[in-house]
Structure 1
Amino acid sequence: MLETPLASLHRELGGRMVPFAGYAMPVQYPLGIMGEHLHTRAAAGLFDVSHMGQAELVGEGAAAALEKLTPADVQALKPGRQRYGLLMTEAGGILDDFMVTNLGDRLFLVLNASRKHLDIPAIEAVLPAGVKLTPLPDRALIALQGPAAVAAIATLAPGIAQLSFMGVGRFDIAGVPAIVSRSGYTGEDGVEVSVPAEQAETFARALLALPGVQPAGLGARDSLRLEAGLCLYGNDLDETTSPVEANLVWTIGKRRRMAFDFLGADRVRDELDNGPKRLRVGILPEGRQPARGHTPVHARGGEAVGEITSGGFGPSVNGPVAMGYLARHAAADNAPLDLMVRGKALPGRVAALPFTPHRYAR
Structure 2
Amino acid sequence: MFGLLSRNSLRSSRHILLRRNFSSIEELKKTSLYDFHLEKGGKMVDFAGWALPVSYPDLSHVESHLHTRKGVSIFDVSHMLQLHIHGKDRIKFIESILVADVESLALDTGTLSLMTNEEGGIIDDCIVHKSSAGFLNLVCNAGCAEKDFAHISERRDAAVRSGLDITVEVKPQHSLIAVQGPKVASFLQQGIKEDLSELYFNHTALVDVWGIPCRVTRCGYTGEDGVEISVPDDAAVELVERLMSVSDEVKLAGLGARDSLRLEAGLCLYGNDINETTTPVEGALMWTISKRRRAARDFPGAEKIMGQFIAKPKTGKRRVGLVVERAPARPGYPVLNLEGETIGEVTSGSPSPCSGLNIAMAYVDSKYIKNGTPLLVQVRKRVFPATKVTMPFVPTQYYNPPK
Q: TM-score range by the shorter chain?
A: over 0.9
The runs of at least 4 aligned residues of structure 1 exceeding 4 Å deviation read none
For residue 155 of structure 2, what is the aligned residue in structure 1? 126
Moved more, 16-25 or 334-343: 334-343
How far off is 1:276 after superposition? 4.4
State the alpha-carbon separation in 2 of the partners of residues 242 and 210 from structure 1: 44
How far off is 1:266 after superposition? 1.2
- Check if 1:198 corresponds to 2:237: no
SS of the residue aligned with 2:323?
strand
SS of the residue aligned with 1:50?
coil
Contact 2:315 2:367 in 1 (8 A): no
How far off is 1:32 after superposition? 1.2
Give the direction of change, closer, same or farther, for the CA distance of 1:158–1:35 in structure 2 (3 Å limit): farther
How far off is 1:313 after superposition? 1.4
How far off is 1:325 after superposition? 0.5
RMSD of Structure 2 on Structure 1 (CA): 1.0
For residue 183 of structure 1, what is the aligned residue in structure 2? 219
Contact 1:298 1:338 in 2 (8 A): yes
SS of the residue aligned with 2:155?
coil
For residue 290 of structure 1, what is the aligned residue in structure 2? 328
Which of residues 8, 18, 43 in structure 1 aligns to 2:35? 8
Contact 1:167 1:181 in 2 (8 A): yes
Render the CA deviation track for 1:185-238: whole Å, top value 9, x for unaligned. 000001011011121111111111121210110000000000000001000010
For residue 319 of structure 2, what is the aligned residue in structure 1? 280
Which amino acid in 2 is paired with 1:210?
V
Contact 1:154 1:161 in 2 (8 A): no
Which amino acid in 2 is paired with 1:285?
V
Which amino acid in 1 is paired with 2:49?
G
Contact 1:282 1:323 in 2 (8 A): yes
Please list, as runs of the form range in 1=range in 2, the aligned pairs for 1:102-141 lying within 5 A after superposition: 102-104=130-132, 105-127=134-156, 128-129=159-160, 130-141=165-176
How far off is 1:79 after superposition? 1.2
Q: Which has the higher strand share?
A: 1
The count of aligned residue pairs is: 361
For residue 157 of structure 1, what is the aligned residue in structure 2? 192
Render the CA deviation track for 1:120-177: whole Å, top value 9, x for unaligned. 1212222333211111241100000010011110111142332011111011112211
For residue 261 of structure 2, what is the aligned residue in structure 1? 224
Contact 1:82 1:99 in 2 (8 A): yes
Alignment TM-score, normalising by the size of structure 1: 0.98
How far off is 1:240 after superposition? 0.4
State the alpha-carbon separation in 2 of the partners of residues 243 and 10 from structure 1: 36
State the alpha-carbon separation in 2 of the partners of residues 319 and 269 from structure 1: 35
Which amino acid in 1 is paired with 2:390?
A
State the alpha-carbon separation in 2 of the partners of residues 138 and 293 from structure 1: 35
Give the direction of change, closer, same or farther, for the CA distance of 1:341–1:137 in structure 2 (3 Å limit): farther
Which amino acid in 1 is paired with 2:290?
G
Render the CA deviation track for 1:270-306: whole Å, top value 9, x for unaligned. 111103401110010112x211111111012421000
State the alpha-carbon separation in 2 of the partners of residues 208 and 161 from structure 1: 21
Contact 1:307 1:326 in 2 (8 A): yes
For residue 383 of structure 2, what is the aligned residue in structure 1? 345
Contact 2:318 2:365 in 1 (8 A): yes
Moved more, 324-333 or 120-129: 120-129
Structure 1 residue runs of 5 or longer lacking an equivalent are none
State the alpha-carbon separation in 2 of the partners of residues 137 and 241 from structure 1: 31
Contact 2:99 2:293 in 1 (8 A): yes
For residue 48 of structure 2, what is the aligned residue in structure 1? 21
Contact 2:114 2:126 in 1 (8 A): yes
State the alpha-carbon separation in 2 of the partners of residues 19 and 361 from structure 1: 32
How far off is 1:319 after superposition? 2.3
For residue 359 of structure 1, what is the aligned residue in structure 2? 397
How far off is 1:76 after superposition? 1.3
State the alpha-carbon separation in 1 of the partners of residues 32 and 374 from structure 2: 47
For residue 266 of structure 1, what is the aligned residue in structure 2? 303
- Check if 1:304 corresponds to 2:342: yes
Provide the identity percentage.
41
Give the direction of change, closer, same or farther, for the CA distance of 1:314–1:278 in structure 2 (3 Å limit): same
State the alpha-carbon separation in 2 of the partners of residues 114 and 200 from structure 1: 22
Give the direction of change, closer, same or farther, for the CA distance of 1:68–1:322 in structure 2 (3 Å limit): same
SS of the residue aligned with 1:125?
helix
SS of the residue aligned with 2:346?
strand
Please list, as runs of the form range in 1=range in 2, the aligned pairs for 1:44-123 lying within 5 A after superposition: 44-104=72-132, 105-123=134-152
Contact 1:141 1:194 in 2 (8 A): yes
Which amino acid in 1 is paired with 2:221?
Y
- Check if 1:334 corresponds to 2:361: no
How far off is 1:320 after superposition? 1.4
